[in-house]
Amino acid sequence: MPSITREEVAHLARLARIELSDDELDHLAPQLDQIITLVGQVSQVAADDIPPTSHALPLTNVMRADENVPCLTPEQALSGAPAAEEQRFRVPRILEED
């Protein structure tokens, strides 16, 4: 039995907002199955009492002084936008039609 099915891959792609073609799914699903078998090796390590490491170095919250600093102009911020209108990013509709 595969560690991940074609249907599961299709579901994950939808969650990740990637529209996949049937050909891509045929290609990706068996590869992901192999990769998941490889990464599944981590379960062989006895680590129940081991604390997780999310980061190599000890992390502390970092704050900066609450002072005004220069930032991008609206023109700069919008310079890479696929579409802009009235100094704003223009986006496709975000609500479903009735």
Per CB under 8 A, 87 contacts another protein: no
Q: Angle at CA 3, nearest 5°, toward 23 and 38?
A: 95
Which among 45, 47, 42, 11 is positioned nearest to 28, based on CA atoms?
11
Residue 88 touches another protein, criterion: CB under 8 A: no
Q: Applying CB under 8 A, does 89 fall inside the site for another protein? A: yes
Residue 88's SS3 state is strand
What is the contact surface with another protein in residues (CB under 8 A)? 4, 8-9, 12-21, 24, 27-28, 31-32, 34-36, 38-45, 47, 50-57, 59, 62, 64, 72, 76-77, 79-83, 89, 91-96
